[in-house]
Amino acid sequence: MPYSFILPPLAETTAEGTVGRWQKQPGDRVKRYEPLVDIMTDKVNVEMTSPVTGVISEINAPEGVVVPVGGVLATIIEDDEGSTPPAHGAPAPQAAAPDVEATHASPLHPSATIAPARSEGRQRMTPVVARLALEHGVDVSQIGGSGIEGRVTKQDILDFVESRAARPAAVAVTAPVAAPLAAPGSRAQPSITPGADEEALPLSPVRRAIAEHMSNSKATIPHAWTMVEVDVSLLVRLRERLKEDFRKREGVDLTYLPFVMKVLAETLKEFPLLNSSWGGDKIILKKRINLGIAVNRGEDLIVPVIKDADRLSVAGLAHGIADLVARARANTLSPADISGGTFTMNNTGALGVTLSYPIVYPGQAAILTSEAIIKRAVVVDDAIAIRSIMNMCLSFDHRILDGGISGGFMRAMKARVEKLGPDTAIY
Amino acid sequence: MPQKLVIEAINDALREEMRRDETVFCIGQDIGAGGGVFLVTQGLQNEFGPDRVIDSPLAESAIIGVSIGAAANGMRPVAEMQFFDYILPAMEQIANEAAKMRWRSFNTWGVPMVMRAPTGGGVTGGIYHSQSLEAMFTNIPGLKVVLPATPYDAKGLLKAAIRDPDPVLYLEHKKTYRSIRGEVPDGDYVVPIGKAEVKRTGNNLTIVTWGLMVHYALDAAAQLEQEGISIEVVDLRTLLPVDNETILESVKKTGKALVVYEANRTGGFGGEIASTIAEFAFEHLDGPVTRLASPDIPAMPWNHPQEAFFMLSPEKIAAAARKLAAY
């Protein structure tokens, strides 16, 4: 039977996707869960697997084409085992058994009917499937079910997780389709063979995506960089005073990051051009302030997004950060969690460094770091004093921003952070 | 290892225990020279005499009442109910006296008594000789209830029951008496009360059952193996105290549970099993916990086609398992 392989909604705000590389061609056999095509949306790159087993009869959306959600990507002639006629003389196994429904055909046996897997658009799943989906960060609607009424079974989800592990990154952070992304491999270096005293480390899909999009950013965005020193002595005192109570009451740690992000959201309102992106022949201002936070995961890094950060208090931001960091490390972020960022914050101070030169997240205008807080001897009112100093660094897209506005933004950030002190409210 | 029938294994267990411990005695209707209605006690009176293999009046409350008194005074009675259906006149003695003695006497008195009773249908026994009443007794804490399915378990569990310090209801499925043969080692061994056994391992679905249905479930599992469905069969062996650990371990592995019991569906002991699985294996379930039981009809019909309709069979179990496996 011909099966239409359509583009599903990949994130809540996704309306369309750009077709990337097809891994199969018409006439190729494809197995269920086998990777088939890469789809790029504004913030997420999804490797889509085949929902069915069969032969590809047609690729309806070739590489580079933009397809709306629901649009047909390919047509697959599905294997239909049920249509295989049984061997002559061999009775179908079910026919030999008496119909147990005979004893069940009474209202005393409600289990005789099984609810459909989908009713009114809501997907039902068994408890074990729900648990495994959560544990492995799987969107069950992306899996074709082999159970009754298309229900996704425990085995279906285990198979899916196994196939994903064999070729991971169903979802990886990637760049938006800024510049022509039609040929993602075009900047790829030729493969280099390691020498006798060298060792080749295979690339994880997330590592490959980071490489692709950092190269893309540096190749297309003319970066400029600036830095301010911020005296956070009062903020240190404020946090020292609050942190024990906060942890007891809220259950999460109160770090410096939510304070800086609170100030960042306020300052972005004052300097809206910092919250924008390059639109080729225009600059696109973003009305929402959605702050990406770089989360180090040891082997790689992912940038989940706190939506509408300007509406949150310091305490609210602390909770939002704690939640995203926990889920980033547990690998349970959804595509929606890592999409929609308008500005990125990188708390490099957590790594103990005091000066960084970050790369602008593609599709944004600038990226800010908060560096490690160090006690230093500084001059205050013509006297030498010991103060807690934190550097903040800004990389920005020089097509959008110049030093004047960036400097103004950094001075405003510095002034606001230095105003944080023992009297600042965090709720 | 010698092959024995279930009925031979029970007879061996009684004989060996009576030789081992002279406080063990049997009491029941026609169990002496007659050897009992199923001949389970055949030959015992010849060896041990009429004082240790006692023919009782046709009065179950008396049989159990005498046994309780003897047990409380240091004896180890093994009381035979001719059919499980006939145990009801003794219910008051069992539920109110035997089961509660240890509790009521602050652990001073016990009732080390075994009640043997042939249970179950499928032998065209009709109304009075076919019922599976185990759920009436699993609701009485203080009792132990066992129901072996194989000759090995029959012998080992009867020895464990006789040596147990508290009252044990030992159910024997009458259809297994002479239809189930299996290996039984010579000599002394016990099967501990309270331990279920996985009689067949599998991955797709767990059948939890006991008694004759263990054999029907194993037959169904062999059929379904041809269709690529891998069934695990858990034989409870002891209903009270039930071995939840083994049940839950299996269901957590397979994700699907079919509870099969020969008793009427409503209020049957399988409902207790299903409830435990739903509560403690919830996050592992990949399908509805399903019960397959006899219909809620007052009695097992004697009419043969109607009895076949009433009784479970390997085919009915296979059909239910096939449907659940596809869920």
Q: Which residue has the higher pLDDT, A33 or A335?
A: A33
Q: With respect to residue A186, please indicate whether it lies within any of the assigned structural domains.
A: no
Written as one string, the DSSP assignment of A202-217 is PPPHHHHHHHHHHHHH
Phi, psi (5° rounding) for residue B25?
Answer: -140, 160
Average pLDDT estimate for A383-397? 96
For residue A94, the chain B residues in CB contact (below 8 A) are 322
Q: Tell me: do A318 and A388 sit in the same domain.
A: yes
Residue A426, Cβ neighbours under 10 Å: how many? 19
Task: Give how far B291 is from chain A: nearest CA, Å.
Answer: 9
Q: Tell me: do A142 and A231 sit in the same domain.
A: no
- Count Cα neighbours of A364 within 13 Å in the Cβ-side half-sphere: 30
Nearest to A129 among B227, B286, B320 (CB): B286
Helix (H, G, I), strand (E, B) or coil at B283: helix
Task: Give how far A332 is from chain B: nearest CA, Å.
Answer: 18
CA-nearest of B261, B308, B274, B320 to B132 is B261
Q: Where are the domains of chain B?
A: 3-183, 197-325
A105, A140, A173: which is the final residue of a domain?
A173
A140, A155, A173: which is the final residue of a domain?
A173
For residue B255, the chain A residues in CB contact (below 8 A) are 126, 128, 154
Does position A181 have pLDDT exceeding 70, yes or no? no
Counted domains in chain A: 2
CA-nearest of A260, A246, A235 to A427 is A246
Distant-in-sequence, close-in-space partners of A105: CB < 8 Å, separation ≥ 6: A112
A111 to B296: CB separation less than 8 angstroms, yes or no:
no
Q: Is A43 in contact with A302 (CB distance < 8 Å)?
A: no
B3-183 shares its CATH topology with B197-325: yes
Q: Is A289 in contact with A308 (CB distance < 8 Å)?
A: yes
| Chain A to chain B Cβ contacts (< 8 Å) | 61
Distant-in-sequence, close-in-space partners of A135: CB < 8 Å, separation ≥ 6: A332
Q: Tell me: do A55 and A149 sit in the same domain.
A: yes
Residue type, B259: V
pLDDT per residue over A42-69, tens digit each? 656 788 888 889 999 889 888 888 888 8
For residue A147, the chain B residues in CB contact (below 8 A) are 326-327
Q: With respect to residue A290, please indicate whether it lies within any of the assigned structural domains.
A: yes
% of chain B exceeding 90 in pLDDT: 97
CATH code of the domain in which A304 resides: 3.30.559.10
Nearest to B285 among A99, A127, A151 (CB): A127
Q: Tell me: do A156 and A229 sit in the same domain.
A: no
Q: Tell me: do A326 and A380 sit in the same domain.
A: yes
Q: With respect to residue A332, please indicate whether it lies within any of the assigned structural domains.
A: yes
Helix axes A257-270, A403-419, angle to 10 degrees: 130
Average pLDDT estimate for B155-171? 98
A98 to B315: CB separation less than 8 angstroms, yes or no:
yes
Q: Tell me: do A304 and A359 sit in the same domain.
A: yes
Q: Which of residues 89-118 of A touch B (CB under 8 A)?
A: 93-94, 97-100, 102-103, 106, 108-109, 111, 114
Does position A247 have pLDDT exceeding 70, yes or no? yes
Among this protein's residues, is A397 annotated catalytic? Answer: no
pLDDT at residue B111, as a whole number = 98
CATH code of the domain in which A29 resides: 2.40.50.100
% of chain B exceeding 70 in pLDDT: 100
pLDDT per residue over B120-154, tens digit each? 999 989 999 999 999 999 999 999 999 999 999 99
pLDDT at residue A331, as a whole number = 79
**Which residues are paired to B200 by β-bridges?**
B233
Nearest to B227 among A93, A111, A129 (CB): A93
Nearest to A127 among B283, B315, B323 (CB): B283
Q: How far is CA B235 from CA A248, B153, B257, in A?
A: 50, 10, 13
CATH topology of domain B3-183: Rossmann fold (3.40.50)
Distant-in-sequence, close-in-space partners of A167: CB < 8 Å, separation ≥ 6: A35, A47, A205
A332 touches chain B (CB under 8 A): no
Helix (H, G, I), strand (E, B) or coil at A24: coil
Residue type, B126: G
A108 to B265: CB separation less than 8 angstroms, yes or no:
yes
The two beta strands, B231-235 and B205-209, are parallel
User: If 0-12 CB within 10 Å is exposed, 13-18 middle and 19+ buried, where does residue A279 land?
Assistant: exposed
Task: Say how many Å lie between the first and final Cα of chain A, rounded.
Answer: 59
Q: Is B315 in contact with B260 (CB distance < 8 Å)?
A: no
pLDDT per residue over B54-87, tens digit each? 999 999 999 999 999 999 999 999 999 999 999 9
Q: How far is CA A34 from the centre of its chain?
A: 22
Does position A410 have pLDDT exceeding 80, yes or no? yes
pLDDT per residue over A4-46, tens digit each? 898 887 766 667 788 888 988 888 899 988 889 988 876 567 8
Q: With respect to residue A367, please indicate whether it lies within any of the assigned structural domains.
A: yes
Q: With respect to residue A298, please indicate whether it lies within any of the assigned structural domains.
A: yes
- Look up the domain containing A169 and give its range: 2-81+123-173
Copy the structure tokens of residue A281: 């022949």
pLDDT per residue over B78-113, tens digit each? 999 999 999 999 999 999 999 999 999 999 999 999
Q: Tell me: do A338 and A226 sit in the same domain.
A: yes
Q: Tell me: do A164 and A225 sit in the same domain.
A: no
Copy the structure tokens of residue A305: 């997004």
Nearest-5° Cα angle at A412, A411 to A417: 100
% of chain A exceeding 70 in pLDDT: 82
pLDDT at residue B48, as a whole number = 98
Q: Which of residues 212-231 of A touch B (CB under 8 A)?
A: none
Q: How far is CA B200 from CA B150, B206, B219, B285, in A?
A: 14, 10, 11, 20
CATH topology of domain B197-325: Rossmann fold (3.40.50)
For residue B274, the chain A residues in CB contact (below 8 A) are none
Does position A387 have pLDDT exceeding 80, yes or no? yes
Q: Is A388 in contact with A373 (CB distance < 8 Å)?
A: yes
Q: Tell me: do A127 and A274 sit in the same domain.
A: no
Q: Tell me: do A133 and A224 sit in the same domain.
A: no
Q: Tell me: do A221 and A324 sit in the same domain.
A: yes
The Cα A235–Cα A389 span in angstroms is 10
Distant-in-sequence, close-in-space partners of B10: CB < 8 Å, separation ≥ 6: B40, B116, B154, B155, B158, B172
**Which residues are paired to B78 by β-bridges?**
B26, B114
CA-nearest of B171, B135, B84 to B268 is B135
Among this protein's residues, is A156 annotated catalytic? Answer: no
Task: Give how far B78 is from chain A: nearest CA, Å.
Answer: 39
Does position A176 have pLDDT exceeding 70, yes or no? no
